[in-house]
Amino acid sequence: MLAALGRIALRHGQLDNAMKMVIKDLADVTQEEALHATAKQMSGQLRERIRTLAKQRLGEGRALVRLEAILERAQQATTRRNKWFHGTWGTETPSATQARRVVMRDARHSFQKAPTVKELTNLVDDLETILEDLLNARQGFLSNALKKSPTRTPFIARFFCHHQTVNVHVTLPNYLRRQTI
């Protein structure tokens, strides 16, 4: 049982790191910048930040829906993990003739039967699948969608030239542009 709990902890940490790398990709920053910017953020905050950045960079569409589906599965797995990791574990002996059993106190402060090794292993498998899907997304559909998307949200700059107003869609700071207007 302890080995399965350890595997859950490791895989969940890897999942959080993978989400930080998705933030890196979406925000178009370095790995170091992404890790510093997300250093104190928990899983839920990482998922929310990904959703916000993905809507900005990808807009509505297939890539966003696919990414949100992975994030929803990650949220469900995290909820199961938190239920088991943040509960109070103990043992009880119901009577002199019954064997000791592992129990845990749930959010309602009542003792419940602790998860089985099989339930813990199923969560490990789910976390590994979600992690693999997120890594594949970064190398596949997410990477492709980001290539088609501007790094910065375009804005309209308004110039006045010879008594005329000219609207220009700008996606890069002016000092990076080689054109003159």
Q: Tens of pLDDT along 87-124?
A: 888 887 777 666 677 887 777 777 788 899 999 999 99
Helix extents (H) in the chain: 2-27, 31-37, 43-58, 62-85, 117-139, 141-148
Residue 24's alpha-carbon distances to 54, 79, 100, 107, 167, in angstroms, are 11, 24, 48, 35, 32
Residue 112's alpha-carbon distances to 3, 65, 106, 107, in angstroms, are 21, 37, 7, 10
- Work out the mean pLDDT of the chain and round it to a whole number: 85
Q: Nearest-CA neighbor of 57 among 170, 136, 143, 140?
A: 143
Give the model confidence (pLDDT) of 42-87 as tens digits. 999 999 999 999 999 999 999 999 999 999 999 999 999 998 888 8
Rounded to an integer, what distance in angstroms lies between the CA atom of residue 67 and that of residue 138?
10
**pTM recorded for the entire structure:** 0.77
